[in-house]
Structure 1
Amino acid sequence: MVMTCAVAAATAVWLAMSGLPDPRRIGAWSVPGRSRRGRFGRLLAGRTDALSLPIRAVAGLLVCAVVALALPDLGQVPVWRVAPGAVLGVGVLLGLGWIEPPSTRHDRERQRSQLPGTLDLLAAALAAGCAARVAAAEVAAVSPEPSRTALSSVVAETGVGRSDADAWHSLASSTRWQEVWGPVGRDLARSARDGVPVEEVLRVQARRARQSRQAALERRARAVGVSSVLPLMVCFLPAFIAVGVVPIVLGLALHYL
């Protein structure tokens, strides 16, 4: 068993030092004519913002080693100690790839809070006669992060020769920005392609984003009362039992004894 754990630890160190292949290439051993990335490759790759594959592999191997050491001996067959740890290790390897990092959630919340004001500024710049790329550059210069990065990516793409429609479509399809900026990017891409004015559309979207943000804050405020029930119960229930229940039970016990 010690030898198994030593091999697992050595493998973990080797993976951490040498790294693993690009997860986008895993699953590329597919049949010609099919997608170059199989289901296993997509499952193993996980989210684009998840922990790297070597770190997840090290975590899975450590879980496997800890579980194997914690289980009691079941005869002379070591596989009964290694198999449960291996299953849990694979679960950790795959599960960590699909857990949303707190930084991603915080980044998305900041995008949503900044979106209404940013859209108002874009609509005002477009209404003043600025082109879409000029409006994006001017608004990016006065916007906080992460809105500055979103608009700067559009400005950077147009600066290297891409069309406005392609730059806004790229923003709308980006993994980081599509959830919040997707509708805006598609509208601005359509406007750049067809020449349709979108000032009023941006103002409507800003109003809807502001209303959606307010509704989300109200839901979060109402949920505070529900989520605080368990901590309050954990704090006050022992005191209630010690002060109100225990004396009665002891009194009855002393009376009948």
Structure 2
Amino acid sequence: MLAGLLTTLAMLAWPVARSPAVRLNAIASSAASETQARGSPDPGSMSASAAGRGMAVAAPVGVALFLFLGGLMGACAGTVAAIGLFAAVRRREPAEVRRRRERMGADLPFAVDLIVASLRAGQPMSGAVETTAAAIAGPVGERLSWAGARMRLGAPPEEAWTALSDEPALAPLARTMIRAAQSGAPVADVLTRLADDARRTAQARASAAARRVGVHAVAPLGLCFLPAFVFLGIVPMVAGLAGQILLP
């Protein structure tokens, strides 16, 4: 009796063998959760945050217009202004998403160069991707580490790279790797051209950002120099003309 009970308990406590696919999905889910916990932006939380910012800006403006104008005109003006401000603030890209996108675009050329160097040194694709992920910190390293771990555990390369195509900065790399995996063509030369294109794109974006800084600085600088121009240029001239006209 006791032996049968112990045998039953041992059978219940014995770990159930899982297939490689089930283990891979479990590891991928835990890796995705860990990446999310390290600070990857959540679309739901970003949408809620944008809505909260829009409401925080739009509500005081709408109430202020209603109190200032009063009546039906104030209610209409406040409602229209609040709706417009809410939509404008909600459509604006959050700063966290913008910084993440800019960093991924800046890190992509270096990551591709490291993948090419690792492949030419004789590493397999999963090893090259994981080596690059260890050297490149930030969001690019996190996503490459995830893809490399999946390939090392036996996932098809197309599946691993397809999961990276949701990032706009990594979509060209993902498409290139998917085509190479499906065709079996050597990928080092294609990745070299991709790195050159990504580097030129990053330089063009940096130049455009520098030009926008100059344009945006015109109005503040004008407001700073306008009082000095008025007091040093216009006021003495007006005072001199007034003295000549008023004095006999």
Same fold (TM over 0.5): yes
The equivalent residue for 2:242 is 253
Aligned length, in residue pairs: 204
For structure 2, the 5+ residue unaligned runs are 1-42
TM-score, normalised with respect to structure 1: 0.67
Q: Is the 8 A contact 1:47 1:98 kept in 2?
A: no
The equivalent residue for 2:67 is 70
* Counterparts of 2:51 and 2:207, CA distance in 1: 41
Shift of 1:253: 1.1
* Counterparts of 1:96 and 1:160, CA distance in 2: 43
Structure 1 residues 73-131: Cα deviation after superposition (integer angstroms, max 9, x where no partner)? 33xxxx65444333333334433332101222222221122111110111122223333
Structure 1 residues 135-168: Cα deviation after superposition (integer angstroms, max 9, x where no partner)? 2112111111122122123235446764210121
Shift of 1:56: 5.4
Amino acid paired to 1:196: A
| Higher Rg | 2
Counterpart among 128, 131, 134 of residue 135 in structure 1: 128
Structure 1 range deviating more: 184-193 or 121-130? 121-130
Shift of 1:61: 7.1
Identity %: 33
**SS at 2:138 equivalent:** coil
The equivalent residue for 1:241 is 230
Q: Is the 8 A contact 1:64 1:86 kept in 2?
A: no
Q: How does 1:109-148 map to 2 (within 5 A)?
A: 109-148=102-141
Q: Is the 8 A contact 1:115 1:206 kept in 2?
A: yes
Shift of 1:217: 3.0
Which structure has greater helix proportion? Answer: 2
**SS at 1:197 equivalent:** coil
* Counterparts of 1:65 and 1:241, CA distance in 2: 36
For structure 1, the 5+ residue unaligned runs are 1-45
Shift of 1:226: 4.2
Query: What's the RMSD between the two structures over aligned residues?
Result: 3.0
The equivalent residue for 2:199 is 210
Amino acid paired to 2:52: I
Q: Is the 8 A contact 2:50 2:89 kept in 1?
A: no
The equivalent residue for 1:232 is 221
Structure 1 residues 183-209: Cα deviation after superposition (integer angstroms, max 9, x where no partner)? 111111122222222111111111222
